[in-house]
Structure 1
């Protein structure tokens, strides 16, 4: 039974029993305590905590999940994987233990012909929490499971939580006996390879607090209602029904593994103890990581150096490096990712429709990693050569921060050479860098990172009445004032403060749009609004500089948005939508936005694309954008359900979480239709004009365009016109002849440079011949040691080649910043190697023929030291 069919039967079973089928949430978690959704119940957490009222009392889903805590174990065992799918049925204050147990039993034991999974009831075991007599009784008395197949286990095994404060409760796990060929008898406690867990029924009735581990946390109270949260591992059930050994061999994973084996010439599982053989481990890593990367990019995650993007980057690079260790040095992802797409598309058709964007991000990251490997590996090898015991944290941090060499790869390569890395020290340096960056960013915003005081204001005074769409002016009351994060009763002249109003017309920074600027005016005070933020949902804060008088708590103020600022912001945000639509019109739907920022008169937009845009393509995009302005497309704002927005093709930023009712902004109808909360013009012509100012790479598979709008676009084009006029005057040519005239000047410059290089080569050749003729004889080896201001590598090779090939020769060229040693074939035949000689007098790297390193501490005397070293080492 294919995995997609396992999924279909599960949803059909529960839909027939009154459950609402809920689509999988995106992998990037809305929960701030998580990077990714790591369990099927995560999207339902607010319902279980009583924070939100669920729109249904019963639900079923097949949720995409990613767990990376055990990423280093992936492939080493057949039970660990990063991406998996969790079938789940949920009850929010409706049914509880008995119904949950009945529903599960009916599905897994019903015959295939009746829509079930057809498992042998005599091979199913159940575990319960050691104190849960009710669940044990239900399995024994209602289902009829023999007492010897009901196992009681402790909190670590049978009391479930997300690993963070939140809903929790006792659970009952289902296991299937796969037979004696998989292990010894005795139930799950004897062998969990033979007795495979496939479903966990969680009786969610408590809230847990902070703690570590699976059992070291307090229960802080009961939930508002008793809930059911079950999780059936889709891949595990597929393995059982497909008769394969593990999750790497099901139909959604095995084809990737097989393609990797084919490319590398390996045979998976050909050896005894295959779980531990390095080749089989690496093939499993490839299969798991390629599929995980496909799903993460499909949900909008892009490779980066922080957060979710770093996890994706690490997964992609581990897959690529595993292929290299298996002997495949060519680009691997173009061979593997399409296979992953074909295996997953039956369950997730959007992967096929959006594959061009997904592939662009993945292939670009592999290209970048291959370049990183070339540059960073040489530096790491040099550092490891000089390491005894543990690589210093400062070296690992420099490799990461300067060259993009990931710490996990540094650790892996060092371990292969029997060396450690000071990882705690590296983490400390990374944390310090993050603290500085966070402090700098926070200082530019509210100056206050702790949201606790803001939450107290929200609880006491209620949410801010936000009127940015309706007006530029409000009469408001000051509800709170903070200075340096501390609540105060007033802010005097000249001070910076964060002010909370009961109602505001100011747009708070969000969705890529910068916040509004303007003023707060009281009867005897004025404050300039510098920044507007939403530190918590429902509350708007204003960072102000008091420029006259004193702003006091409880004062009535007039909040006034600068109308010119707002106009420029509206032009820029609508311009962002227009540029996005123009890019998709010219390049195709794969050129999908992955981030944006706009402020009055300026916009930048990041989008998925590999390779730079030619001047002709840039001009075409710019023209398409301005044609839309000339046509004066209407800009319409509509509110609708999220499902309806998706149905009509509204574009959303990947990875974002949206409410059920969303705001859709259309420019020219379907030409540009996006989910957006920003401020916009009423018609496209009000943008004025759009001028693209730059286009560049901002990461693997991502490009960035920058543009100016409105009056700023006019000023930009005026400056360009003036610049052309000045250049035309300086070169003495009409404007329309500038390209040809400048091309002729450049060609003349190249001719002069070529002549200079020719003369320099002649001089170097003459110098080389002179030095070669004066070579010293050191134990039968021609030795030249010389100081030079020229290129030491070129000179050393020239001198070496000027000495007869049959005569052993060593040449050392000492420049102000480096030492180069060149050795000919005859000298290598006498046991001399350039890299060995270099390490004998200093440090550096290279091969047997040429090596290079920094100037040794002995300085110019190193040339004499080398002569002695040659004499001692020559065979």
Structure 2
């Protein structure tokens, strides 16, 4: 049975059982505890936590997931995978253990001719939590499982929580016996290779407190409503139904390996070394393409760093298989064709995916060249010192700075006749992981006490009236201070207030919250901020300017009209610039983030290089033409399917309700899902002036612009600047560029002449410096401090000239130049000094600590820098001592 059929049957089974089907959420969700969605239940967390009411009591989904803690283990075994699909069914206070067990059992064992998976009931085992007698009894009652195939496990295996305070409960896992060829008898407690886990049923019934992620935490009590959260591993079921040994042999994964075989001319299964590389490519290609498809771009931090590692491991593995041509887009095409039926966004967005992958591969190939040169230098140093082992810190530098995995360094070292200090490398890696883990733990937070907002949410969500009015009558439902509900607040207090209706926009979709006031008969409140809680409750942070307010009061909420005018211009301007960007650069230039406020907009978009001045000007011109055309702005409410049919652009990582709001500017020219406030005609945006374009990470660019009156002010400042420069130069405005260009050229010529004079002075000074040489056991040593501010390049030039003045005699030159809180140094040796064993690179470690620095180089010349200019005197002494010691030991 093919994987797409497995997914189809799961969905139909639970839809027939009254579950609402929910498409897979993006791999990127706004959750401080998660880098990526790593479990099927993650998109449903607000419902389990009570932060929002579920749209249905029963729901089901097939969620794409990525887990990346064990990237380095992928490929070495057939068990580790980064991307997988989790099919799940969920109940929010509806059914519980008995129905969850029944529904799972029916689908797993029902004959394939009847729409099930047709697995042999006699080969199914389950585990339950130690004291969950209820679940054990239900497996016997509902499924007829004998007690000997129901095993009990402790909290590490069969008790679930999010790892932080919140919902938790016992779970029950379903295993399938693959037979004696795969391991020992005795059930999953004996051998989890033979007994393959395919489904986990979580009985969410308790609340846990602070403590460890897996154990050592208190159970605080029972949840008011018991919930069900299950997850079935789609790939694992595919293994069983396709009768293959592991995930890499299943239909949607094996296709990537087949492509790698074609490109490399090698065969999967021929030897374990190559098999590891084939498996890395197959796994990472799926994860990489799905992540790029959801808006991640390669970078050096967080999600971008993980994606970069995945993609570079693919390229490196292909290289080790003998493939020298670019491969990422070739593998991406296979993933698109295999996964497209389940995730059509891979097909529609493939042009952008392809562009991101090509840019990253080009970058990495350049990095490989640079890293190879670093390795060759390091290897030469090791050999020149008579050693045969590359230090662990050098291997770590290659890994951390240049993206060289250890096995690539090992292979290159072997070719050079060297070994690598693997223990030293792994120690440094462990230290780095420990730091990263500590940092992640510091950022990981529990789900704070949302009780006060749940109470208010039970009264109903806030009605947002701001699309049609700037002032609304409302009732003050609640006042919150310090996380607690209070009855009143008085002048000077800063509190949060919740109204039953409000015209004030809550910050979202990149748009700042509205400014405004809330007034009563006796009080006035300044609105400082507005945020949404659980996407349905508007929480206004206010400062009580006068009087006193109390729960239940009648109020009027007012938006500052000037603020709203500017906010609408900013948000509509963002849509216009996004549409212009796509018109000029192509549809792959998709927005990946934005921020707008009155008069200003910032738009991040996927692109792999700086924009030319022509492209920038064209984007600005297309934007302003759209303003001049006075395009109509229309709002359409529909469902997600309808929005997709319209061609509306959805933003990466955003979560949308069942009913979505589509904002059109000029019909199909600009059509985006958006909840923001907008102008009624494009002419109301006013002029749009692009003020900057820059990089904010690999594959991501940022455009900034002013709109409306702010654009006028900016252009007025620019005009005044040009007029002032014209007045200084005493030329008409139009001649300013030519006159400035002429001045710059004259300055460039003058600087070149100055450099010649400076170089002549340096050469002239070299003679006097050489005359200050000290005799150290027959070696002329020039160890001096140069004047403040001498550049590193000049230090090197002077050192070379002084060495030349020493002629054929043994000589060592060590020069130091302070510059603020930094110091540059250079050591140069004559040929005769090197014959005596005085190598510049080996002298540096003796004095570098004195100036708080480090450096290195070749026997004839070494250089470096430090952060302690006050230690130059000690460094000079240390250099003199080291030369004396080296000569004494000859």
TM range (shorter): 0.7 to 0.9
Aligned to 2:85: 85
- Counterpart-to-counterpart distance in 2, 1:43 and 1:263: 38
SS in 2 for 1:357: helix
Aligned to 2:308: 316
Correspondence for 2:839 among 833, 844, 848: 833
| Higher deviation after alignment, 245-254 or 579-588 | 245-254
- Counterpart-to-counterpart distance in 2, 1:483 and 1:18: 42
TM-score (norm 2): 0.78
CA contact (8 A) 1:253 1:340 kept: no
- Counterpart-to-counterpart distance in 2, 1:330 and 1:753: 51
1:317-466 matched pairs, under 5 angstroms: 317=309, 320=312, 335-336=327-328, 338-347=330-339, 348-358=343-353, 416=425, 418-419=427-428, 421=431, 452-459=451-458, 462-466=460-464
What displacement does 1:471 show? 1.3
Structure 1 pair 803–291 and aligned structure 2 pair: CA distance change class (3 A): farther
Aligned to 1:446: none
| Higher deviation after alignment, 95-104 or 329-338 | 329-338
1:344-743 matched pairs, under 5 angstroms: 344-347=336-339, 348-358=343-353, 416=425, 418-419=427-428, 421=431, 452-459=451-458, 462-481=460-479, 491-493=489-491, 496-551=494-549, 555-743=553-741
- Counterpart-to-counterpart distance in 1, 2:21 and 2:518: 49
Correspondence for 2:289 among 290, 294, 301: 294
1:850 and 2:862 matched? yes
Number of corresponding residues: 823
- Counterpart-to-counterpart distance in 2, 1:241 and 1:486: 54
CA contact (8 A) 2:260 2:318 kept: no
- Counterpart-to-counterpart distance in 2, 1:865 and 1:131: 71
What displacement does 1:16 show? 8.0
SS in 2 for 1:814: strand
Q: Provide, for residues 260-295 of structure 1, a one-character-per-residue CA deviation record: whole Å limited to 9, x for no partner.
A: 899999998777xx6xx8x97787566544532332
Structure 2: any 5+ residue segments left out of the alignment?
Answer: 379-391, 407-420
SS in 2 for 1:815: strand
What displacement does 1:691 show? 1.1
Structure 1 pair 338–777 and aligned structure 2 pair: CA distance change class (3 A): farther
CA contact (8 A) 1:289 1:316 kept: no
1:821 and 2:827 matched? yes
1:59-74 matched pairs, under 5 angstroms: 61-68=61-68, 70=70, 74=74
Q: Provide, for residues 231-251 of structure 1, a one-character-per-residue CA deviation record: whole Å limited to 9, x for no partner.
A: 432333444556654334555
CA contact (8 A) 2:785 2:872 kept: no
Aligned to 2:27: 27
Structure 1 pair 355–120 and aligned structure 2 pair: CA distance change class (3 A): same
CA contact (8 A) 1:256 1:287 kept: yes
SS in 2 for 1:638: strand
Structure 1 pair 554–163 and aligned structure 2 pair: CA distance change class (3 A): closer
Structure 1 pair 755–260 and aligned structure 2 pair: CA distance change class (3 A): farther
What displacement does 1:636 show? 0.5
Aligned to 1:387: none
CA contact (8 A) 1:290 1:319 kept: yes
- Counterpart-to-counterpart distance in 1, 2:325 and 2:597: 38
What displacement does 1:101 show? 1.3
CA contact (8 A) 1:472 1:563 kept: yes
Q: Provide, for residues 307-341 of structure 1, a one-character-per-residue CA deviation record: whole Å limited to 9, x for no partner.
A: xx714423523663797799889999963364145
- Counterpart-to-counterpart distance in 2, 1:804 and 1:265: 60
Aligned to 1:810: 812
Structure 1 pair 362–493 and aligned structure 2 pair: CA distance change class (3 A): farther
What displacement does 1:481 show? 4.4
Structure 1 pair 22–489 and aligned structure 2 pair: CA distance change class (3 A): closer
What displacement does 1:104 show? 0.4
1:108-123 matched pairs, under 5 angstroms: 110=112
What displacement does 1:674 show? 0.8
| Higher deviation after alignment, 532-541 or 125-134 | 125-134
CA contact (8 A) 2:288 2:310 kept: no
| Higher deviation after alignment, 816-825 or 664-673 | 816-825
CA contact (8 A) 1:89 1:230 kept: yes
- Counterpart-to-counterpart distance in 1, 2:264 and 2:309: 17
TM-score (norm 1): 0.80
CA contact (8 A) 1:160 1:171 kept: no
Structure 1: any 5+ residue segments left out of the alignment?
Answer: 382-390, 439-448
- Counterpart-to-counterpart distance in 2, 1:825 and 1:75: 52
1:784 and 2:782 matched? yes
SS in 1 for 2:469: coil
Structure 1 pair 483–324 and aligned structure 2 pair: CA distance change class (3 A): same
- Counterpart-to-counterpart distance in 1, 2:520 and 2:325: 62
- Counterpart-to-counterpart distance in 1, 2:535 and 2:686: 34
What displacement does 1:483 show? 5.7
SS in 1 for 2:746: helix
CA contact (8 A) 2:841 2:862 kept: yes
Structure 1 pair 345–822 and aligned structure 2 pair: CA distance change class (3 A): farther
- Counterpart-to-counterpart distance in 1, 2:699 and 2:201: 41
Q: Provide, for residues 822-874 of structure 1, a one-character-per-residue CA deviation record: whole Å limited to 9, x for no partner.
A: 23566445433323211112331222331323257653353354233223224
- Counterpart-to-counterpart distance in 1, 2:24 and 2:291: 13
Structure 1 pair 853–366 and aligned structure 2 pair: CA distance change class (3 A): farther
Aligned to 1:209: 208
- The Cα RMSD (Å) is 4.9
What displacement does 1:661 show? 0.5
1:200 and 2:181 matched? no
SS in 2 for 1:674: strand
CA contact (8 A) 2:85 2:233 kept: yes
Aligned to 2:744: 746
What displacement does 1:632 show? 0.9
CA contact (8 A) 2:571 2:676 kept: yes
| Higher deviation after alignment, 859-868 or 808-817 | 859-868
CA contact (8 A) 1:282 1:323 kept: no
CA contact (8 A) 1:787 1:813 kept: yes
SS in 2 for 1:691: strand
| Higher deviation after alignment, 468-477 or 603-612 | 468-477
What displacement does 1:87 show? 3.4
Aligned to 1:388: none
Structure 1 pair 405–870 and aligned structure 2 pair: CA distance change class (3 A): same
- Counterpart-to-counterpart distance in 2, 1:858 and 1:595: 48
CA contact (8 A) 1:603 1:707 kept: yes
SS in 1 for 2:589: coil
Structure 1 pair 298–455 and aligned structure 2 pair: CA distance change class (3 A): same
Structure 1 pair 695–31 and aligned structure 2 pair: CA distance change class (3 A): closer
Structure 1 pair 365–505 and aligned structure 2 pair: CA distance change class (3 A): same
- Counterpart-to-counterpart distance in 1, 2:525 and 2:599: 24
Structure 1 pair 629–141 and aligned structure 2 pair: CA distance change class (3 A): closer
| Higher deviation after alignment, 16-25 or 422-431 | 422-431
CA contact (8 A) 1:665 1:675 kept: yes
- Counterpart-to-counterpart distance in 2, 1:368 and 1:621: 27
What displacement does 1:559 show? 2.9
| Higher deviation after alignment, 693-702 or 548-557 | 548-557
Structure 1 pair 221–69 and aligned structure 2 pair: CA distance change class (3 A): farther
1:246 and 2:246 matched? yes
What displacement does 1:592 show? 0.9
Q: Provide, for residues 620-678 of structure 1, a one-character-per-residue CA deviation record: whole Å limited to 9, x for no partner.
A: 00111111111111101111112211221111111111110011111011111111111
Structure 1 pair 713–760 and aligned structure 2 pair: CA distance change class (3 A): same
Aligned to 2:105: 101
Aligned to 1:177: 178
- Counterpart-to-counterpart distance in 1, 2:439 and 2:44: 37
CA contact (8 A) 1:205 1:223 kept: no
What displacement does 1:741 show? 2.2
What displacement does 1:188 show? 3.0
